[in-house]
């Protein structure tokens, strides 16, 4: 009873926001941003571009690589923190791609969302409840960035990535480790901000919207460079493997300094670390599948390669998964 990974796809906006653009908005510079984050640009959704547009495009690309018709998909999981509709966007993606036989739902775990979604989908396949699934990580964080806060506006971009999973007699998901710690929630938030509105003498409610993203960068960095290597090591231990066995390390593309620090703590050489953060910025739940798409399409990653992935972010949540491609 296992699962194999058969297709990936990505979709990114065409608008490019460079460090030079940001220097006209806030007190910053290209050198300041690159030194601290490794980012030179980020891709930003147009005003008329919806999350469902990006998510569906990524999903269709992944299905094409897997050579799987959408009607054969049993499960659609959309990992996002920025839905088009707070009641859920997965069903809109389901109908857009023509997955008429699939059940669909949203999953929210911020920048860890794709890993959490991948592990969730695998449980349905490993128990033979379903035969095929597509997991999509998609976010339009530009909707919720304070573009005058240089601590956050330099980081985030928009995009979507997807992966197709199919039931198999051989399990290519070798192990995983998922964690959450709400005690650290305050360090990275996109929280509801309401104003009191009386309805009648005895009843009042709060109505409002969500405040922009707020982040304690120092604490998030400290958390990531200590906790992420630990969950990867635990996943390796469960699979009776070591860091030397990793062919590719694909982390949530939050910050190049974090990628370098985690790889260094694991002893993974730089040529095994996949990074596109310089061109895409931090795309939250979309970052891991987007990062995987180009090297898989170009066959840089080969069938049977061991991929170590890890996501980390708001919640705070973090998790790792080990799998072999193909």
The answer to whether 66 touches 10, Cβ cutoff 8 Å, is no
Q: Which of 161, 143, 144, 145 is nearest to 153 (CA)?
A: 145
Q: Between the CA atoms of 141, 177, 304 and 161, what dihedral angle is there, to the nearest 10 degrees?
A: -10
User: What is the Cα gyration radius of the chain?
Assistant: 19
* Active-site residue identified among 91, 111, 153, 280: 111
Q: How many CB atoms lie within 10 A of CB 196?
A: 9
* Active-site residue identified among 19, 255, 276, 282: 282
Whether 21 is a known active-site residue: answer no
* Active-site residue identified among 91, 187, 252, 255: 252
Whether 111 is a known active-site residue: answer yes
Report whether the peptide linkage leading into residue 77 is cis, meaning its omega lies within 30 degrees of zero.
Answer: no
List helix spans (H) across the chain: 19-23, 30-37, 51-66, 90-97, 113-126, 150-153, 217-238, 256-266, 277-280, 287-297
SS3 50: coil
SS3 36: helix
Q: For 213-278, give the DSSP string.
A: PEE-HHHHHHHHHHHHHHHHHHHHHHTT--GGG-SEEEE--S-HHHHHHHHHHHT--GGGB---HH
Whether 148 is a known active-site residue: answer no
Residues with catalytic roles = 111, 252, 282
């Amino acid at each position: 009873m296992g699962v194999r990974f058969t297709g990936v796809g990505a979709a990114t906006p065409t608008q490019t926001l460079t460090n030079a653009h940001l220097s006209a908005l806030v007190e910053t510079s290209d050198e300041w941003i690159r030194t601290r984050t490794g980012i030179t640009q980020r891709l930003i959704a147009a005003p008329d571009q919806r999350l469902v547009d990006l998510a569906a495009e990524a999903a269709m690309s992944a299905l094409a690589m897997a050579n799987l018709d959408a009607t054969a998909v049993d499960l659609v999981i959309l990992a996002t923190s920025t839905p088009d509709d707070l009641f859920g966007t997965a069903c809109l993606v389901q109908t857009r791609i023509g997955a008429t036989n699939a059940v669909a739902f949203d999953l929210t775990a911020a920048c860890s969302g794709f890993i959490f979604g991948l592990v969730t989908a695998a449980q349905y396949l490993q128990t033979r409840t379903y035969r095929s699934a597509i997991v999509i990580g998609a976010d339009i964080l530009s909707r919720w960035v304070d573009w005058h806060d240089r601590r956050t506006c330099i980081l985030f971009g928009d995009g979507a990535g997807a992966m197709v999973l199919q039931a198999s007699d051989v399990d290519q998901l070798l192990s995983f480790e998922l964690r959450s710690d709400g005690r650290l929630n305050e360090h990275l938030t996109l929280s509801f901000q309401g104003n009191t509105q009386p309805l009648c003498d005895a009843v009042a409610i709060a109505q409002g919207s969500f405040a922009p993203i707020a982040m304690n960068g120092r604490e998030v960095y400290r958390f990531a460079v200590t906790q992420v290597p630990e969950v990867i090591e635990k996943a390796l231990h469960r699979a009776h493997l070591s860091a030397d066995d990793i062919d590719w390390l694909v982390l949530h593309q939050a910050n190049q300094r974090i990628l370098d620090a985690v790889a260094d703590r694991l002893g993974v050489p730089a040529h095994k670390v996949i990074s596109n953060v310089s061109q895409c910025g931090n795309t939250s739940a979309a970052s891991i599948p987007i990062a995987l798409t180009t090297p898989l399409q170009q066959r840089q990653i080969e069938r049977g390669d061991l991929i170590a992935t890890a996501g980390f972010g708001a919640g705070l949540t973090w998790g790792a998964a080990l799998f072999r491609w193909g």
